[in-house]
Amino acid sequence: MTNDFLPFLKDLIRLPGLSGYEAPVRQRIQAEWEPLVDEISISRLGSLHALKRGNGRGSRPCLLLAAHMDAIGLMVTEITDGFLRLTAIGGIDARILPGQCVIVHGRQELPGLIFLPPDSCLPIAKKDEPIALEYLLVDLGLSPSRIARLVRPGDPISFAQPPIMLGENKLAGHSLDNRASVAALTICLMELQARKHHWDLMAVATTQEEETFAGAKTSAFDIRPNLAVAVDVTFGRSTGLPEHKTYPLNDGPTNGWGPGIHPAVFRALKETAERAEIPSTTEIMPVRTGTDADALQITAEGIPTGVVSIPLRYMHTPVEVVSLADIRRAGRLLAAFVAELEIDFVEHITWQ
């Protein structure tokens, strides 16, 4: 199994693109997708829309595949004596931050590191405890006067951990949630170059999933697809984690099942995986999915929606780990699902 998508994925996780600031990563995705689709555009909120027309005659139904391209990160809230105070963009556990290298996106890109003050400088109640974000600072190694010229409160801060290979098949780095799924969606588009499909496909790299789901809400309302599938990551299994809440790496993607999933879409994805001999696991999602699907399914009159997820270890850290084989399998599953959709699929589905 080749990993020809790996250079592209490494590019994606080297680039910044925090929620609300996705332009750098969107530009790289657009360059990769343009040769693979018929039309490409950018929504009013910055999501990337890529249309690949189907081969069906007349008016064709539309399938939307959504993978969010935004990432978690930090933001400058205050400058104190040349050091930067922080707040989070997206869900971040402050325990993993001390010692991390970052890039501050001010008037220019500035490398820095996150440090924590010694216990002697903390309130007594906070000593010998994990340090909250409010006590962490960024050191840029510059004079206060220069920092005052280059940095403002509100400037975003991205992680600077470079991608690294673990063994031959696993990649570690920041922002694999959800750049791994963008790579899977890209593989889908590549596979469809050699396969006919009746439906129109709208591949969407959405914005602001980590904070508001704004990209998925607005793109789905604009496109009004007949079906949708959110492509995201899920919790990968490692030692000490409960098996019923995590999923092993290298066993393929998961297929979400729960109140937010349309039963017909779930069944179609499951049967597609079985026919294509792609390993997959049912993922129980009893409340919210925590993905763009939560927004997609309730847009306009309601959109029948499914969720395909890639297991990922150490989610929302700068050292997330994913299996390259699972990314490729997810892409192949999506391509097979698109190619095998019958033109009248929606006419025969019910919520049963």
Domains of the chain: 6-71+174-348 (3.40.630.10), 73-159 (2.40.30.40)
Q: Is 330 left (phi over 0), alpha (psi -120 to 50) or beta?
A: alpha
209 catalytic per annotation: yes
pLDDT truncated to tens, each residue of the chain (352 aa)? 456 999 999 999 999 999 999 999 999 999 999 999 999 999 999 999 999 999 977 789 999 999 999 999 999 999 999 999 999 999 998 889 999 999 999 999 999 999 987 777 677 666 666 788 988 999 999 999 999 999 999 999 999 999 999 999 999 999 999 999 999 999 999 999 999 999 999 999 999 999 999 999 999 999 999 999 999 999 999 988 888 889 999 999 999 999 999 999 999 999 999 999 999 999 999 989 999 999 999 999 999 999 999 999 999 999 999 999 999 999 999 999 999 999 999 988 887 6
**pTM attached to this predicted model:** 0.94
Q: What residues have CB less than 8 Å from 217, skipping those under 6 apart? A: 295, 299
Burial grade of 320 (CB within 10 A; 0-12, 13-18, 19 or more): buried
The Cα 191–Cα 330 span in angstroms is 12
**Out of 191, 209, 210, 320, which one is annotated catalytic?**
209
41-44 — which CB contacts under 8 Å span 24+ positions? 43/207, 43/215, 43/218, 43/219, 43/222, 44/218
Q: What is the separation of C-alpha 11 from the centre of its chain, rounded to a whole number of angstroms? A: 14
